[in-house]
């Protein structure tokens, strides 16, 4: 059978409150059952099964041993899709003869030929199980798990909620999660119990540290429709947002806020592209407003990171000995800490649950299209290629309009052109897989270089303004101003050359082949 689960990480206090909560409006819940589960996970010492995206475990439920084989899927935005085979067995050791699917049985044997299969780790879980139903025959299993994963000499706590859709539309999975998790801080799981166990078995920290996640390639074919492409784009944006939210909450690295803001901007860019086929859509408008607010908060920290890393740091070796950098660095550090606190506060606010779960819902179901006029609904069912060509053409024309009289553009007009180029880049990436790589490569190379140059020009133009905006007035003294003036002067000389370079790169982009035509 195909399993669709939503996995959420919570703290133990939240889990306790959730177990006692009344069923949300529109749902009914049966009486709770509580089971103690012992699961034994098997693999080779070099993790052959894991590398092949296969999970093999035996589980004792208090009465019987059950063997489970899971293949494929994986976690994305907390949602798991995989093939799962379960069968009763006589004891805790795997029994391949009991596997009903001959292809999977054969595949397992080929993977493990000549290798040693053994116990890697166990999990011991107390599971509170509730089934939620509604009048439309939706059935969702909600498992609230608390316990630990352990190896021979280590163990680590586990507290999570799994919502498994057993029947009904996938949007109801998100609707129930949204209702259950109101006023409760949650994180989407980027791993599972097996993932924690494997980290323990490998000697790695069980508290999985999320790295900053860059945008991944979106796989499209000529068979995709305008609507299915929209949902693929949303899934990728959501995955980037969720992963970088976790990164920011777990690590103090500048790339986290940067990639979070990129993910939010890509999302808003996608909404803008699709305005022509779903005008005045209330769901999209609400999500867009929240994305804008969150991108602004992330941008406040990111701007300070850029100021320090890209503007001030390169000049430090050149500062005269008479210029003390300490007061400026102290002021920036204070401003950075304030922005960091503000961003993390926003990221753990329970109101963010609704934004993430609503975005997950529309990325997995067509609920957002329910109220679209028939003439627009027809467009959603059309092949994606013509829509992509039109979208790319509109984005490039917007760039050309802002680049008129390029040599005479003001700083504000350069900034507008930079934003248009960024939106063009996002559009190119959205529809990348529809076009031949060789046709796209030249244009994308020109676009990236152009965007980098305009990005630097914008950073230089914003540097002094950022200092004035971000630093407390009490720390904006003559000593700080002197250092800022030196830094700004050094970058301005480089910016003059960069502006000439930007004009040359614009001409190169204009003459590059428009691969979408």
> Distances from the Cα of 75 to the Cαs of 6, 8, 11, 53, 79, in angstroms?
9, 11, 20, 11, 6
242 shares a domain with 167: no
Please indicate, yes or no, if residue 218 is contained in any of the structural domains: no
- Taking the alpha carbons at both ends of the chain, their separation in whole angstroms is 43
3-class secondary-structure state, position 4: strand
Give the pLDDT confidence score for residue 207 in this predicted structure. Answer: 65
Give the pLDDT confidence score for residue 92 in this predicted structure. Answer: 92
Please indicate, yes or no, if residue 220 is contained in any of the structural domains: no
- Any idea how long the chain is? 517
Helix (H) or strand (E) holding 166: strand 155-167
CATH number at residue 89: 2.40.320.10
124 shares a domain with 237: no
> Distances from the Cα of 137 to the Cαs of 80, 172, 361, in angstroms?
22, 11, 18
Give the pLDDT confidence score for residue 43 in this predicted structure. Answer: 96
Please indicate, yes or no, if residue 162 is contained in any of the structural domains: yes
C-alpha–C-alpha distance, residues 194 and 281, integer Å: 40
Give the pLDDT confidence score for residue 476 in this predicted structure. Answer: 54
User: Based on the structure, what is the number of domains in the chain?
Assistant: 2
258 shares a domain with 197: no
Give the pLDDT confidence score for residue 1 in this predicted structure. Answer: 44
Please indicate, yes or no, if residue 115 is contained in any of the structural domains: yes
94 shares a domain with 196: yes
99 shares a domain with 43: yes
Q: Specify the DSSP class assigned to residue 307.
A: I
235 shares a domain with 348: yes
450 shares a domain with 316: yes
C-alpha–C-alpha distance, residues 105 and 120, integer Å: 21
Round the CA-based radius of gyration of the chain to a whole number and report it: 26
Neighbours of 132 (CB within 10 A): 23
335 Cβ partners below 8 Å, 6+ apart? Answer: 304, 470, 471, 472
C-alpha–C-alpha distance, residues 12 and 159, integer Å: 6
Give the pLDDT confidence score for residue 250 in this predicted structure. Answer: 86
Which of these three, 185, 201, 217, is where a domain ends?
Answer: 201
Please indicate, yes or no, if residue 432 is contained in any of the structural domains: yes
Q: Which residue range is the domain that position 450 belongs to?
A: 226-511
Which of these three, 201, 235, 256, is where a domain ends?
Answer: 201
239 shares a domain with 185: no
Give the pLDDT confidence score for residue 402 in this predicted structure. Answer: 95
Please indicate, yes or no, if residue 16 is contained in any of the structural domains: yes
Give the predicted TM-score (pTM) of the model. Answer: 0.86
10-residue stretch averages of pLDDT, the chain, 517 residues long: 75 89 91 91 95 93 92 58 84 93 92 95 95 92 94 90 91 91 79 85 74 91 92 94 91 93 97 89 91 96 90 89 82 88 94 91 78 73 94 96 92 92 95 90 91 88 65 60 82 88 91 90
SS3 letters across 124-137: EEEEEEEEEECCCC
CATH number at residue 471: 1.40.20.10
157 shares a domain with 252: no
C-alpha–C-alpha distance, residues 238 and 43, integer Å: 32
C-alpha–C-alpha distance, residues 54 and 112, integer Å: 12
Please indicate, yes or no, if residue 13 is contained in any of the structural domains: yes
Which of these three, 186, 201, 216, is where a domain ends?
Answer: 201
Give the pLDDT confidence score for residue 372 in this predicted structure. Answer: 67
Give the pLDDT confidence score for residue 477 in this predicted structure. Answer: 62
316 shares a domain with 174: no
Please indicate, yes or no, if residue 211 is contained in any of the structural domains: no
Tokens representing residue 67 in the block: 């063997």
156 shares a domain with 271: no
284 shares a domain with 160: no
């Amino acid at each position: 059978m195909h399993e669709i689960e939503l996995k959420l990480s919570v703290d133990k206090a939240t889990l306790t409150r959730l177990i006692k909560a009344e069923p949300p409006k529109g749902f009914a819940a049966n009486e709770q059952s509580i089971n103690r589960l012992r699961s034994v996970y098997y693999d080779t010492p070099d993790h052959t099964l894991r590398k092949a995206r296969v999970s093999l475990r035996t589980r004792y439920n208090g009465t019987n041993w059950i063997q489970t084989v899971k293949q494929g899927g994986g976690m994305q935005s907390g949602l798991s899709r995989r093939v799962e085979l379960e069968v009763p067995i006589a004891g805790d050791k795997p029994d391949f003869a009991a596997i009903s699917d001959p292809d999977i049985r054969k595949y397992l044997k080929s993977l493990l030929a000549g290798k040693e299969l053994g116990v890697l780790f166990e999990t011991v879980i107390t599971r509170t199980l509730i089934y939620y139903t509604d009048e439309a025959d939706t059935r969702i299993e909600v498992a609230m798990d608390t316990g630990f994963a352990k190896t021979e000499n280590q163990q680590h706590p586990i507290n999570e909620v799994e919502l498994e859709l057993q029947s009904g539309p996938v949007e109801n999975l998100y609707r129930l999660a949204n209702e259950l998790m109101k006023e409760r801080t949650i994180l989407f799981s980027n791993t599972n119990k097996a993932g924690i166990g494997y980290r323990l078995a490998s000697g790695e920290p069980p508290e999985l540290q999320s790295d900053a996640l860059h945008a991944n390639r979106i796989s499209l074919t000529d068979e995709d429709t305008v609507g299915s492409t929209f949902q693929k784009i949303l899934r990728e944006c959501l995955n980037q947002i969720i992963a970088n939210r976790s990164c920011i909450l777990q690590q103090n690295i500048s790339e986290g806020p940067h990639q979070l803001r990129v993910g939010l901007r890509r999302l808003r860019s996608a909404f803008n592209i699709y305005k022509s086929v779903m005008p005045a859509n209330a769901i999209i408008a609400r999500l867009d407003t929240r994305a804008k607010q969150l991108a602004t908060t992330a941008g406040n920290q990111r701007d300070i990171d850029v100021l320090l890393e890209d503007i001030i740091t390169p000049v430090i070796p050149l500062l005269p000995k008479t210029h003390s950098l300490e007061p400026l660095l102290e002021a920036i550090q204070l401003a950075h800490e304030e922005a960091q606190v503000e961003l993390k506060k926003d990221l753990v606010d329970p109101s963010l649950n609704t934004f993430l779960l609503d975005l997950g819902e529309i990325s997995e179901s067509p609920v957002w299209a329910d109220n679209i006029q028939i003439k627009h609904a027809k467009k959603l069912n059309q092949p994606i290629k013509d829509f992509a060509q039109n979208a790319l053409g509109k984005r490039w024309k917007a760039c050309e309009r802002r680049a008129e009289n390029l040599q005479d553009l003001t700083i504000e007009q350069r900034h507008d052109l930079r934003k248009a180029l960024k939106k063009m880049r996002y559009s190119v990436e959205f529809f990348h897989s529809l076009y031949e790589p060789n046709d796209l490569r030249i244009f994308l190379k020109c676009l990236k270089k152009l965007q980098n140059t305009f990005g630097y020009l914008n950073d230089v133009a914003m540097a002094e303004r950022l200092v004035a905006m971000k630093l407390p007035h009490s720390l904006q003294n003559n000593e700080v101003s002197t250092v800022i003036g030196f830094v700004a002067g050094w970058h301005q000389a480089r910016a003059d050359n960069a502006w000439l370079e930007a004009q040359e790169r614009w001409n190169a982009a204009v003459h590059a082949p428009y691969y979408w035509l």
